[in-house]
Structure 1
């Protein structure tokens, strides 16, 4: 839904006042929806997605403050204005302490109301009118209040130059959110550069990030600018930042502090202007306690923290996402599959989805490939879910597991002789010890 008008939800059990306020706001160019109770307002919120709520304080059933508290549970950045004929100071103080945008007393002064509405909408994400519709979030398919609230925060974060840390399980769409923030920012016309810190070998990651000069090391047969310089003026997305080795974390911190990058083998530093968005599926606070992540880097990266919900927490999005993947796969393959049967959709909605949106996409793709009818059946979905690994490890996790098993096997073969194991691995003894320490392997246990 793309609308140019700012959307306001008006809530009051006084029908006459509701219509009068609606006329004033509509006459000033706002798109106004009406609700005559707090309960009705809550039902309308996910449908109309307002940028501002104006509610009476005293209503039958759910009052204005109770409505505000209910809104805050899923929409923490949605501004709320409360109106009351009983404008006592304690009510106003209580409301503003709890985060209500402002508190207006009846009878409502039109100029004051419009002035406060304008202020509230200028702070509300998307309220400034600078962005063309919802183009910035085009890749994020949702009708979930949880995700809508997250997108409000993301849009506020995009307006700043602060570093953003995106948390979430694998497959929840962390890179899509990072790209959306970039598109919504003042850097949208500049590069968005993404790197998966867990997918690049440690020995190459420093060169990929910071660059190198010709001859800096064996195989460096030309100058390489590095991703920081490639992203200059734009956004650098550091995916799986929790997998970055400690030695490189120190160098990254220095670059962020000095806003300069020095290529490997160069004596000269180059100034850079890069906005950092990082992401992880790890709990970095635990990684800090275990000594795997630097606390000072954590605070540098975690200025704004956004957490993506799992697919199980946003089940209302499953039909939208499933149909999106269906259209995508059939468009790419040309296969004539018209839809997903109601029974199959029920299976999708009730599944556990440990692999989140990525797993859902894989399931729909497999079901389309094997479908022999116009509609995807429940049996096809059942089979596809069973054959999809429930917990697909990231590249970094798979590599770490392989390394650990490989090192243990070498030490078993050599009875804990590190020098012999290092020769078999074709690594020098110092480097081999570092590998053992990284995996907390004690060689003497194998003697």
Structure 2
């Protein structure tokens, strides 16, 4: 089935920059590209576009000038601009005239760019929903209330703890059980875990299981915002607070008033920002940049980090009082290498998503492909797994994904190196018996995972008695999942 997602138009006169943005976004959205404002307007006359992402520096029209024209002729399109630090003054000055949704500072991070475009697409969809709801409200208020209730129920279900993909008995189960109990109470939560383990997904589930579920859930990655801009983005600013601040700007905490704020990578914040975040937690108030008055806000804060904050506190890099305010409840998302039993289910969900996004029919994994995925340690966690599966879908010509479609490091089970001729992380050194034992342990583990730890079926596949299989499991310490 062809991809029906909203198209994103990228406008940049630099070919390398255009290609980099296209590669970052094309796995998730249909991408149209233009190297000039004139070509972009031709595309907008012919194609339906949800988001325009434009560089500020272009020959002829600047990005802001072009987006002003877009606002006049295609007001429904969400407008985003990319700018270097030296151009920020001009961009900020033109934000209101051009109706710019947000700006992204160079050098941009792929994850932040993708997340921003996702939010912009969602915003464009919500605008359409609001227009339809407005018509319904005029004709029948009761229909509006019913539709709103139905939509809220769907959102709660989509982001529920049950929707976090995992197998029965997963290490994620106890994390979700604690999170579900915590969700009902208005306490700050600190989610710890490596990059790509699903910390934001857990935070969303907490929000939609809480009494604040019908209010805003606002996300910000603190590591992706330049230091001079971060206070303005979080707390807002007043007109005239700095060069280019021609209008008041509402900060993230004000936009989330009544709802939940999720701050990712909080361990990367500066000491000055830590003081201001502490004030939000203690007093429930923020002070916009350039203002002499504080504003009361009612938000629940969920923070996340891949860093060891306790060590950072001991070394003086993170405020102790802020840490204890954030860590009212601490949850730890386990890395993918500690949850191999979940990997087949996660991989199947990602394969389904990749096939849908890339316009392919239903695909399946071969036994060797699934075995390869299970035995690789995944230092990049689910984000790395997703990239490998999208790659495999693109490279596979038939309906079965084989291990040869994965990158060499995944095929050979090595992190940071590949050893041709070796498979699934079998050691390249050691005595013959030690290496044979390692191979036998991998084969046993693969069979058990393939049969979801059903020992009778695994023993039948391997030509062993159940007693013989149990002895080998004890020998290789595989008796427990």
The TM-score normalised by the length of structure 2 is 0.52
Correspondent of 2:312 among 277, 281, 287: 287
1:343 aligns with 2:368: yes
When residues 329 and 287 of structure 1 are mapped into structure 2, their CA distance, relative to the original with a 3 A threshold, is: same
2:166 to 131, 135, 142: 142
Using the alignment, how far apart are the partners of 1:345 and 1:182 within structure 2? 34
Equivalent in 271, 293, 296 of residue 246 of structure 1: 271
Map 1:202-221 → 2, pairs under 5 A: 202-221=227-246
Per-residue displacement from partner, 1:44-87 (whole Å, max 9, x unpaired)?
xxxxxxxxxxxxxxxxxxxxxxxxxxxxxxxxxxxxxxxxxxxx
Q: CA deviation at 1:355?
A: 0.5
Distance 1:378 1:243, change over 3 A: same
- Max Rg structure: 1
In structure 2, relative to structure 1, the CA distance for the partners of 1:387 and 1:345 (3 Å cut) is closer
Please provide the CA RMSD for this pair: 2.1
Per-residue deviation at 1:308? 0.4
Aligned to 2:202: 177
SS of alignment partner, residue 374 of structure 2: helix
The alpha-carbon deviation at position 185 of structure 1 amounts to 0.3
Q: Name 2:100's counterpart in structure 1.
A: none
The answer (yes or no) to whether the contact 2:238–2:248 under 8 Å persists in 1 is: yes
Q: 1:374 aligns with which of 391, 399, 409?
A: 399
Give the counterpart of 1:301 among 326, 340, 363. Answer: 326
Report the 3-state secondary structure (helix = DSSP H, G, I; strand = E; otherwise coil) of the residue aligned with 1:276: strand
Q: Which moved more, 1:378-387 or 1:182-191?
A: 378-387
Q: In 2, distance between residues paired with 1:389 and 1:222?
A: 53
Instruction: Find the partner of 1:312 among 334, 337, 340.
Output: 337
Unpaired segments ≥5 residues, structure 1: 1-130, 392-447
The alignment's TM-score, normalised by the length of structure 1, stands at: 0.56
Which residue matches 1:233?
258
Number of residues of Structure 1 aligned to a counterpart in Structure 2: 261
Cross-structure match for 1:332: 357
Distance across 1 between alignment mates of 2:233 and 2:413: 33
Any stretches of 5+ residues in structure 2 without a counterpart?
1-154, 417-481
1:356 alignment counterpart: 381
Question: Deviation at 1:379?
Answer: 1.2
Contact 2:159 2:201 in 1 (8 A): no
- State the 1:268 CA deviation: 1.7
Kept after mapping to 1: 8 A contact 2:404/2:411: no
Contact 1:344 1:378 (C-alpha < 8 Å) held by counterparts: yes
CA distance in structure 1 between the aligned counterparts of 2:311 and 2:267, rounded to whole angstroms: 11
Contact 1:337-1:371 within 8 A present in 2 as well: no
Distance in 2 (alpha carbons) for counterparts of 1:210 and 1:389: 45
Deviations 1:142-164 (A, max 9, x none): 12431111111000110110000
Partner Cα separation in structure 2 for residue 265 and residue 284 of structure 1: 31
CA distance in 2, matches of 1:187, 1:389: 44
The Cα shift of 1:137 comes to: 2.3
